[in-house]
Structure 1
Amino acid sequence: MVLLKNVLIITYHFPPMPEIGGIRLYGLAKYLPKYGWNPIILTPTLPGEPDSQFQVIQSSYDDVVALWKRRMGLNTKKSLNEQFGVSKPKDQPSIIDHLTYLPWEVITYPDPMRGWYKHAVKAGGDLLQREQINAILSSSSPVTCHLIAKTLAEKYQIPWIADLRDLWTQNPYFNHCALRKFAEKRLELRILGKASAWVTVSEPLADDLSHLHTHKPVYVITNGFDPEDASFAPPKLTDKFTITYTGVLYNGKRDPSLLFEALENLISDGVLAPDRVEVRFFGSQDSWLFDEIRDANLDGVVKVMGFVPRNQALQRQRESQLLLLLLWNNPQEKGVYTGKIFEYLAAGRPIIALSGPGESVVKDLLNETQAGHYASSLEDLEDILSKYYSEYIRTGAISPTKEDATSKYSHLEMAKKFAGVLDKVQTEASQHPTSVSTCSDSTQKSIR
């Protein structure tokens, strides 16, 4: 019997917490034992019981934002915009956002989850004093996970891998004042500089990391899907020509307006029959979204359902004729894989991606797997929709994607690659026990 090595995984998101960020860590924890590593999860208190197959340590968490709201006599469960009856414009700050900008910059430095730090350090320290831990792996966002990992790795001289699903100060969503940007960049250099190795999800993001941080290896390990999620009896597809989106819209950065314009044109031209088409949004219920639906005369076509549990979201994906992937048209997004695209691959339904930059890893992935299309213009999108609709009218359903083309993006493969990095840093640490955060390899590494 092979004795497994222990890795402490520090993550803020882990199921049953519903955020998409937890899916990567769940898959990693599930399949790492096949490659010689036993995961122990350190996370804040979860909203329900975690999967019993995992050893999960839940620690207390101080919600610094809720504490601030409570001191101001505000409802801790609602946003300030909700409490003051202010509608948030699409992709723009509201007047409330402007008024609270500077206090928010201070309260949430370096992120709103910083109140977890002291509790997690204590819980992690208690674990490290009673169990043999061979490596630490922290995953962001939030970046507080890396602060916790750095403290524990230095104190107990354990090799540490920093997994950046999203970059830190190089993230295109990193939008702060000049003073905070300066302070946080220095913090990033100081914290991540102590890691034994870094992992991120794409080659462009690894390039960005290598430009900011030098003399450390950067490994590329993409997100993936659980192969068990892809093993299901073929579901009955919807009778209508359905296009389904699951997730948030990031205040309009994930912008569906191109789809609405294409649908309005195709219905007006008689290409699509409105009574046979249904677009479903499971997630964000922003006021601007309803306005755009009404302005495009699509009230009877587009349905905004609100958030549903993940198992229901997966079922809605599997039964849909098409799946919609919305991106942000920002050149810095070219290296961003959304976690959603891998859920979509597991669903086996064709994907239409739109509103993204001209060059994108998502575009490359869809071309490689033949799992869908990347629409780069209104005309392109109208052509894609017309062809899919013709197939739907002709056959009654749109053909599924090819499973064999997507298998390399499973969590099983992802865990195998992570295990290889863990083995490497653990071996190097054992050879240089007094310098676990020093690594002689300064090259970028792609694990494919």
Structure 2
Amino acid sequence: MEPENKKILIITYYWPPAGGPGVQRWLKFVKYLPDFNFQPIVYIPENPTYPIIDNDLLNQVSEKAIVLKHKIFEPYQLASFFSKNKTKKISSGIIPNQKKQSFLDKVFLWIRGNLFIPDARVFWVKPSVVYLEKYIVDNNIDTIITSGPPHSLHLIGLKLKQKTGVKWFADFRDPWTTIGYHKSLRLSKYAAKKHKQLEKQVMNTADEIIVTSKTTKTEFQAITTKPITVITNGYDVEPVISKALDTKFSLAHIGSFLSDRNPIILWESIQELLAEIPTFKDDLQIKLIGAISQEVLTTIAQFGLNNYLNNLGYVSHSEAIEHQKKSQVLLLIEIDSRDTKSIIPGKLFEYMVSNRPIVAIGPKDSDFSEIITQTNTGVFFEYTEKEKLKKVILEYYNLFLEGKLRSNGVGLQQYSRKNLTKELVKLLNK
């Protein structure tokens, strides 16, 4: 007789049909948890405001998952009457550079940072606690997981822990007060202090904390003595039909291209190679997929690169995987800031199994630079290393001309979604 599956309640905001990187982590954990004798019960908002929709992901939801939905009130729904475009961008993390913010930008950011603490989903906390407290008792659930951002979901976990004594794992896909955009929210002293207090209370009340990078673990260890485990994001085996490689020397960036991620050293390198290598202009293509900041597009134009730009906008996750596999080189750009050392973009792991070389640019000592180096999947550059970057792009271009450009990754299996779920299960069974 098979043992009964252990129930686990997962509280998350992003769930299909939400698109973008935030949905992938728990969509995939939920896919594989039943293989390890866990029954995933997923609690999500009934009427969310998702900045990106990808209906194809609905087909990837495990048939074994129980999905609970409860209504949410979000201020974005009201704010969109004033400027639907601005609220959509802010809710998806695209925040204009402080020097270039309009009056309306400043108003929206001040409201977002000071009136809704920790974020604009905070009104979902009370009704969720009432609903889930009863559900936990009625269904004998002894373990819950909250996933943030939005970090207001950790406040649901906090209240449920206090009321029911349930074992609580707080999963941080990104940091809280040290995340890059936090400083852009125009916080008052009171609001900044409140964020810190809530962050500390969550971390010191949760039974276990899960993070996605070593640097985040180190940062959190200064706040709490609770056990912290690193479980990175990863890749899944995707049913994508192989396509022929691009005939152009395509440099592809997939995902949100924020204002602060604008890599001047990349545009300069490309501009110089166009001037120095006669055939480069015939072969080059800069391929951008996802939400792109206007500042990035303006800079590309200023460097005279518009003729080489293929801006595809947002595509479904399956189409993005296709482009990863057929583009010649994959670009991975992170903000040049001490605060972003801990960020390991979710797409890195999908990049790594695409067999295409990665050109990565980020701050010194970035956690993701170590992963790229260890797996032999590309080359990492700091923002001061323009000449090195230019040299590698030229090397890749010459290999492209010879038909020999590819990546030869090693040790990738440790980052498979099933293997990472196995790590999660070890933690849940402790």
- Normalising by the residue count of structure 1, what TM-score does the alignment of the two structures yield? 0.85
2:419 paired with 1:413: yes
User: Does the C-alpha gap of structure 1 residues 205 and 369 become closer, same or farther in structure 2, counting only changes over 3 Å?
Assistant: same
Contact 2:79 2:87 in 1 (8 A): no
Superposition deviation, residue 189 in structure 1: 1.7
1-structure distance, mates of 2:95, 2:177: 25
Aligned residue number for residue 37 of structure 2: 36
Q: CA deviation at 1:181?
A: 1.0
Distance 1:411 1:192, change over 3 A: same
Contact map agreement 1:140 1:146 (CA 8 A) in 2: yes
Residues 329, 89 of structure 1: alpha-carbon distance in 2 compared, 3 angstrom cutoff = same
Residue 180 of structure 1 pairs with residue 191 of structure 2: yes
CA distance in structure 1 between the partners assigned to 2:138 and 2:377 by the alignment: 47
SS of equivalent to 2:67 = strand
Q: In the superposition, relative to structure 1, how do residues 101 and 220 fare at CA in structure 2: closer, same or farther (>3 Å)?
A: closer
Query: Cα gap change, 1:312/1:296 in structure 2, threshold over 3 Å: closer, same or farther?
Result: same
Taking the aligned partners of 2:279 and 2:102, their CA distance within structure 1 comes to 37
CA distance in 2, matches of 1:78, 1:25: 28
Separation (CA, whole Å) in 2 of partners of 1:212 and 1:56: 33
* One-letter amino acid of the counterpart of residue 409, structure 1: Y
Aligned residue in 1 for 2:167? 159
Cα displacement (A) at 1:308: 1.2
SS in 1 for 2:295: helix
Instruction: Give the distance between the partners of 1:116 and 1:139, measured in 2 at CA.
Output: 14
* CA distance, structure 2, for counterparts of residue 413 and residue 155 of structure 1: 34
Give the Cα–Cα distance (whole angstroms) in 2 for the partners of residues 335 and 173 of structure 1: 14
CA contact (8 A) 1:139 1:163 kept: yes
| Alpha-carbon separation, structure 2, partners of 1:165 and 1:349 | 26
Partner of residue 77 from structure 2, selected from 46, 63, 66: 66
**What are the residue-to-residue correspondences of 1:47-446 with 2, within 5 Å?**
49=58, 51=61, 53=63, 54-68=65-79, 70=81, 74-75=82-83, 77-79=84-86, 90=97, 92=99, 93-175=101-183, 176-214=187-225, 216-226=226-236, 228-229=237-238, 234-250=242-258, 252-270=259-277, 273-354=280-361, 356-376=362-382, 377-395=385-403, 398-402=405-409, 404-424=410-430
Q: Which amino acid aligns with 1:244?
A: A
TM-superposed CA distance for 1:122, in Å, is 3.6
Query: Which shows bigger deviation, 88-97 or 190-199?
Result: 88-97
Offset, 1:313 = 1.2
Identify if the C-alpha distance between structure 1 residues 79 and 274 changes in structure 2 by more than 3 Å, giving closer, same or farther. same
1:7·1:37 contact (CA, 8 Å) conserved in 2? yes
CA contact (8 A) 2:171 2:211 kept: yes
Determine the C-alpha separation between the residues in 2 that align with 1:91 and 1:242.
32
- The CA distance in 2 between the partners of 1:91 and 1:276, in whole Å, is 36
Secondary structure, aligned partner of 2:85: coil
> One-letter code of the match for 1:23?
Q
Contact 2:240 2:322 in 1 (8 A): no
Q: 2: distance between equivalents of 1:204 and 1:283?
A: 27
State the distance in 1 between where 2:354 and 2:22 align: 18
Q: State the one-letter code of the partner of 1:352.
A: V
CA distance in 1, matches of 2:27, 2:88: 33
Quote the Cα distance in structure 1 between the aligned partners of 2:310 and 2:76: 33
Which AA in structure 1 matches 2:194? A
By how many angstroms is 1:101 displaced?
Answer: 4.5
Q: 1:180 to 1:374 in 2, by over 3 A?
A: same
CA distance in structure 2 between the aligned counterparts of 1:98 and 1:89, rounded to whole angstroms: 9
Give the AA of the match of 1:43.
Answer: I
Counterpart residue type for residue 422 of structure 2? K
Structure 1 unmatched ranges of 5 or more = 425-448
Q: Calculate percent identity across the aligned residue pairs.
A: 26
Q: Is the partner of 1:249 in helix, strand or coil?
A: coil
Instruction: Figure out how many residues of one structure are paired with residues of the other and give that number.
Output: 409
Q: Quick one: distance in 2 between partners of 1:69 and 1:29?
A: 32
Once the two structures are overlaid, the 10-residue window that deviates more, 154-163 or 172-181, is 172-181
Q: Aligned in 2, Cα 1:69/1:90: closer, same or farther, shift over 3 Å?
A: closer
Alpha-carbon distance in 2 for matches of 1:94, 1:272: 42
- The one-letter amino acid of 1:151's match is K
User: Aligned AA for 1:358?
Assistant: K
Offset, 1:69: 5.4
- SS of 1:279's partner is strand
Q: Give per-residue Cα distances to partners, 1:255-300, cap 9 Å, x unaligned.
A: 2322211110001011652121101111224332232122111111
Deviation at 1:125, TM superposition (A): 2.8
Once the two structures are superposed, what CA deviation does each residue of 1:166-195 show, in whole Å capped at 9, x if it has no partner?
Answer: 111233332233221111111222233211
Q: Distance in 2 between matches of 1:348 and 1:125?
A: 47
C-alpha distance in structure 2 between counterparts of 1:151 and 1:56, whole Å: 21
Report the AA paired with residue 4 of structure 2. Answer: L
User: TM-score, normalised on structure 2?
Assistant: 0.89
Q: By how many angstroms is 1:120 displaced?
A: 2.5
- 1:79 match: secondary structure: helix
Question: 1:312 and 1:302 mapped to 2: Cα distance?
Answer: 18
Q: Aligned to 2:429, what secondary structure does the other structure show? A: helix
What is the rounded CA distance, in whole Å, between the counterparts of 2:401 and 2:29 in structure 1? 41
Amino acid at match of 2:14: H
Q: What is the CA-CA distance between 1:18 and the residue it aligns to?
A: 0.4
Report if the CA contact (8 A) 1:27-1:225 is conserved. Answer: no
Per-residue CA deviation, residues 367-417 of structure 1 (Å, 9 max, x unaligned), is: 10001111231101111101110011012x522433x52111111121111
Q: How many Å separate the matches in 2 of 1:41 and 1:52?
A: 11
Q: Secondary structure at the match of 1:386?
A: helix
State the secondary structure of the residue aligned to 1:398: coil
Amino acid at match of 2:121: M
Partner of 1:4: 5
Aligned Cα root-mean-square deviation (Å): 2.3
The answer to whether the 8 A contact 2:9-2:143 is kept is yes
Distance 1:141 1:41 in 2: 16
